Amino acid sequence: MADDYGILIFEGEPQGGNPPGFLRQETVSAVSMFHKTVVGYERTPLVSLNSLSKKLGIGGIFVKDESYRFGLNAFKGLGGIYAVGKIISKQLGMDDEPMDFERLTSPEIKAKIKDMVFITATDGNHGRGIAWAASKFGCRAVVYMPKGSKEHRVNAIRNINNTKVTVTDYNYDDTVRFAAKCADENHWFLVQDTGWEGYEEVPQWITQGYITMATEALEQLKSARIEKPTHVFLQAGVGSMAAGILGYLANYYGGRQPITTIVEPDTVACFFESAKASDGQPHGIPGNPVTIMAGLNCGQPSTLAWPIIRDFAKYYASCPDYVSARGMRILGNPIGDDQRVISGESGAVGLGLLTMLMEKKELKTYRDAMGLDEKSVVLIINTEGNTDPAGYQEIVHDGKMPTPYSNENRA
């Protein structure tokens, strides 16, 4: 039901069953081993927000901070480097061998692949990850971005190996279709993180690449003497990151994964609407929706991601933009001894939602239904840093998009 804050939460009907085979432990271990061979690999921080947890009356909050990943200010390089490596390995007939970054970047291999071109559509972070990955292997990338893309995100991609970037007149989903057409016409290699009928192998590799975040986080939680988080908040655009983390957790915990909430902007909440339709099918959001959460502004669920999210997620949240802005401010202005986390618009919405649920009496029904209380331990993924510095300053420094008052509290 609607409330004064515009937040909607739908309780799904997860079917469970067998967790996705391509996210089994042995497969994911091979992915993590590859990432550890990549020059510049370091485990990103897992930040414990103890003071905020006490303030909210919750057992613990842990934020996996991907703003440190490979110097790219976002998590996308994990999927990009793994998928590009797999494509190269397949082209060279090496796809049955364990991947090793040093071997794939040897002069001998680089000479064979120097003319390979990788193309993608992106709102920013994914394209930057693909441009970076292509440059690491000595190849080129071509990147298309949807109408309205921020100049800073465009230039961040161009500055990697002088990558060709074109901002289209299309929305994100149409830009993806345009990039796929260009790939066919030019015999380039499409590296897209969303799947559709006939195109799921590469998205599967990208999704597998993202799981290194989860394997690191679980190791870090164990070091903090946490065997299992009770709740996980995962933001979704096309759903590859959310499905990957959720599918891995379902495998890791034998189908007894933490209570998982899929979080989306209210203007483009395609997973929320798909779950609400209760017909088992994915449903897209048409038109040109607008949200500050550019990385989540995707109207069509990935066909690879949807079945995993449908079968294993418990809750779906539709959030106005101010929820993300709130999360950015809270993370950027920590209380007590908590560590500061610089989080961009697409990275902070989960934390923003959690604070709303715990602090606002109007949302108590949701909070109680989700079992959020003093015993809960919540894992949140900060997927990006300040990838739009000007926008970050407007929100965190200047207070753009403040949290509204409820009707009861308004003058």
Residues tagged active-site: 76, 123
SS3 81: helix
SS3 116: coil
Closest by alpha carbon to 351, among 369, 329, 373, 372?
329
183 alpha carbon, distance to own chain's centre: 24
For residue 42, the tally of other CB atoms under 10 A from its CB is 11
Query: What is the rounded distance in angstroms from the CA atom of residue 192 to the CA atom of residue 52?
Result: 37
* Contact present, 300 and 364 (Cβ < 8 Å): no
Length of the chain equals: 411
Query: What is the rounded distance in angstroms from the CA atom of residue 185 to the CA atom of residue 7?
Result: 44
- Which element (helix H / strand E) includes 197? none
SS3 11: strand
Find the helix packing angle between 201-210 and 25-37, rounded to 10°.
80
Q: How far is CA 115 from CA 38, 134, 141, 337, in A?
A: 22, 11, 11, 51
Q: Tell me whether strands 140-145 and 164-167 are parallel, antiparallel or unpaired.
A: parallel
Q: Return all residues near 334 (Cβ < 8 A) that are at least 6 apart.
A: 49, 51, 52, 340, 341
Q: Return all residues near 398 (Cβ < 8 A) that are at least 6 apart.
A: none
- Which element (helix H / strand E) includes 375? none
Q: Return all residues near 309 (Cβ < 8 A) that are at least 6 apart.
A: 236, 239, 242, 243, 246, 262, 271, 301
Query: What is the rounded distance in angstroms from the CA atom of residue 390 to the CA atom of residue 292?
Result: 12
Task: Bin 52: left if φ > 0, else alpha if -120 < ψ < 50, else beta.
Answer: alpha
